[in-house]
């Protein structure tokens, strides 16, 4: 029987090769969930309109304290809800940085079931078209 830290999840985006569907480890699965949350725009999912942060739009917004504070709170709330059960919500930390035409988001958290600290950085370029 596999240990909790060895559990495999379907990879996102869903991919099939000759051996069948690709899988991800627990830590990779959580990173994939974070990326889904960040890059999905609110109301993009028909059955979960509240899901998503739509982070790409922030690259073109003014760089000011009020926007950063609102974004920080929105990210913490959305991450805690989306990762409930996988991550200890009290350990989620988010930092936002802007340099040149890039937005850098650093997310740190502790995987609840295996008590392991993880961090994930996402960089969004201002000239991305996705």
Residue-wise pLDDT for 68-119, tens only, equals 888 889 899 999 999 998 999 999 999 988 777 778 899 999 998 888 999 9
pTM of the model: 0.81
Q: At 76, which helix (H) or strand (E)? A: helix 65-82
Report how far residue 30's alpha carbon sits from residue 24's, in angstroms, rounded to the nearest whole number: 9
CATH architecture for residues 4-125: Roll (3.10)
Residues 42-49, mean pLDDT to the nearest whole number = 91
Q: At 80, which helix (H) or strand (E)? A: helix 65-82
Q: pLDDT over 70 for what percent of the chain?
A: 92
Report how far residue 51's alpha carbon sits from residue 69's, in angstroms, rounded to the nearest whole number: 20
């Amino acid at each position: 029987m596999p240990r909790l830290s060895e559990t495999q999840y379907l990879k996102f985006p869903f991919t099939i090769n000759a051996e069948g569907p690709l899988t991800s480890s627990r830590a990779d699965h959580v990173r994939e969930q974070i990326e889904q949350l960040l890059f999905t725009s609110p109301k993009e999912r028909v059955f979960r309109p509240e899901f998503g942060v739509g982070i790409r739009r922030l690259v073109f917004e003014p760089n000011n304290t009020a926007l950063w504070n609102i974004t920080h709170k929105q990210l913490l709330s959305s991450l805690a809800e989306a990762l409930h059960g996988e991550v200890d919500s009290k350990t989620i930390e988010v930092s936002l940085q802007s340099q040149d035409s890039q937005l850098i988001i650093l997310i740190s958290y502790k995987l609840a079931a295996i008590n392991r600290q993880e961090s994930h950085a996402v960089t969004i370029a201002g000239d991305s078209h996705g």
